[in-house]
Structures are given as C-alpha cells and as structure tokens.
C-alpha cells in the first residue's frame, strides 16, 4: 500500500514530519541510500505515515523509536505547528504527494 502512494501519479495521502529540538538544536537525519524516495538526502528528524486509527502523536512516538531508537518521555510535548500539502518527484517514477 505504501509503495502505491509513492509511485506516479502520486495520489494525495496523509503523512507527518517530526522536528526534534534538543538544547536549541534541530536533529536531522540522512536518509538511507536504499530508500526509494529521496535516498541519501538530509531531512527532518522523522517522517512517515500514520497507521489506521493512529494519532499523529502516537505515530511520531512510534516512528522516532523505530528509526532512531529514541524513546520520548511521556511529558515530552509534541504539537502541531503547521499543516501543508506538497508534491515532489524523487526520480524513477517515485515521489510524494502528502498532506502533513
């Protein structure tokens, strides 16, 4: 299902991005060379897709543990700061069209 959302013509779908700040600095990560969309590029701390019935906050907490091995404390505030829709081509018929 996820692959279908990232193949041309890139149907609009839900996603989220998490920006983690610590000591006044933003934690970025470099995408794996094996990723089919935007491989080997620097990006936000974590981005992914919510599972059915999952809140943005729960999805963010799950994904930061999965990708970076970071467990956020319960009291760590996660808040929505912007909503946007964007579309970008990654090459080779892959890309994104997401509502964040």
The tens digit of pLDDT for each residue in 61-76 reads 999 999 999 999 999 9
**Which residues have CB under 8 Å from 28's CB, separation 6+?**
42, 43, 44, 45
Is 100 inside any structural domain?
A: no
Residue 67: active-site member: no
For residue range 8-55, list pLDDT tens digits in order. 999 999 999 999 998 999 999 999 999 999 999 999 999 999 999 999
Q: Burial level of 64, CB count in 10 A (0-12/13-18/19+)?
A: buried
Q: What is the model's pLDDT at position 1?
A: 65
Q: What is the model's pLDDT at position 17?
A: 94
More confident residue, 4 or 64: 64
Q: What is the model's pLDDT at position 16?
A: 93
Is 99 inside any structural domain?
A: no
User: Catalytic one among 54, 67, 98, 99?
Assistant: 98
Neighbours of 28 (CB within 10 A): 11
Residue 47: active-site member: yes
Is 14 inside any structural domain?
A: yes
Q: What is the CATH number of the domain that holds 12?
A: 3.90.79.10
């Amino acid at each position: 299902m996820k692959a279908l959302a990232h193949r041309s013509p890139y149907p609009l779908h839900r996603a989220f991005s998490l920006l983690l700040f610590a000591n006044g600095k933003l934690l970025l990560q470099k995408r794996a060379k094996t990723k089919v969309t935007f491989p080997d590029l620097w990006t936000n701390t974590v981005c992914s897709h919510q599972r059915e019935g999952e809140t943005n906050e729960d999805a963010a907490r799950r994904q930061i543990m999965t990708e970076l091995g970071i467990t956020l404390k319960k009291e760590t505030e996660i808040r929505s700061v912007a909503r946007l829709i964007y579309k970008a081509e990654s090459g080779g018929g892959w890309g994104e069209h997401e509502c964040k």
